[in-house]
Structure 1
Amino acid sequence: MPETTRELLSPDAWKDLTFGPFRGDVTIHWIRPFEGDQPGVALLKYEAGASVPRHRHEGLETILVLEGMQSDEAGDYGRGSYIVNAAGTEHSVWSDTGCVVLIQWDRPVKILEEEIA
């Protein structure tokens, strides 16, 4: 079993994992990076107030909220929420309080609006 998989089975074990830059105040820990036609799987950690600008899903995206609250135009999703975004859908994502999510993308998303600094 890969090391990351074993660590994820323990409560809050993700807190000891190394996260790197992703987008602004959102960091990433890759469990399985995109490779060929294989989906990407990662943990995303949003600091309080962090966001990802409007983007389009080029493939299916599934999310499990592990901690905190993630939000988009359709609502707020707390710990334990399972979110499915179909290919072709668009939204922006943010977290007022901060959150950690387990995410799987069939294909990378396409950013539609860049954040204005």
Structure 2
Amino acid sequence: MPETTRKFLTSGGWKELEFVPFREMVTIHWIRPFEGDQPGVALLRYEAGAGVPRHRHEGLETILVLDGVQSDEAGDYGRGSYIVNAPGSEHSVWSDTGCVVLIQWDRPVKMLEEK
């Protein structure tokens, strides 16, 4: 299993990892997939112009932006930004420039819209 320490990820080591399709123009590298009641942890890589439609958080979601800028209705989050989305919160996500984020979900999200 590839190294996924904080130092490795924040110094650009994520560029060495294998990503697979997740959504249109978004790929994923699972660090720890959902298993039973355990949270999921992954890296998401958004191409420039990619987005995820409106969805609701069924559990806590935390995001650390490793590269680029991720946006939602509340603002733009550049490299080093730490975002917390509370259970029950809703938003859509996009990246005009492309980005890579480290994300942890307590539970999978519920999609409210589809692109």
> Alpha-carbon deviation of 1:9?
2.5
- CA distance in 2: counterparts of 1:96 and 1:54, whole angstroms: 16
Identical-residue share of aligned pairs (%):
80
Matches within 5 A, 1:14-53: 14-53=14-53
Aligned-partner Cα distance in 1 for 2:44–2:70? 11
Segments of structure 1 that go 5 or more residues without pairing to the other structure are: none
Q: TM-score, normalised by structure 2?
A: 0.95
How many residues are treated as equivalent by the alignment? 113
TM-score norm. by structure 1 comes to: 0.93
Unaligned runs of 5+ in 2: none
Structure 1 consecutive aligned stretches of length 4 or more whose deviation exceeds 3 Å = none
CA RMSD of aligned residues (A): 1.1
Give the superposition deviation at 1:4: 3.0
CA contact (8 A) 2:66 2:80 kept: yes
Distance 1:16 1:88 in 2: 34
Conserved? CA contact 1:47–1:97, under 8 Å = yes
Which residue does 2:7 correspond to in 1?
Answer: 9
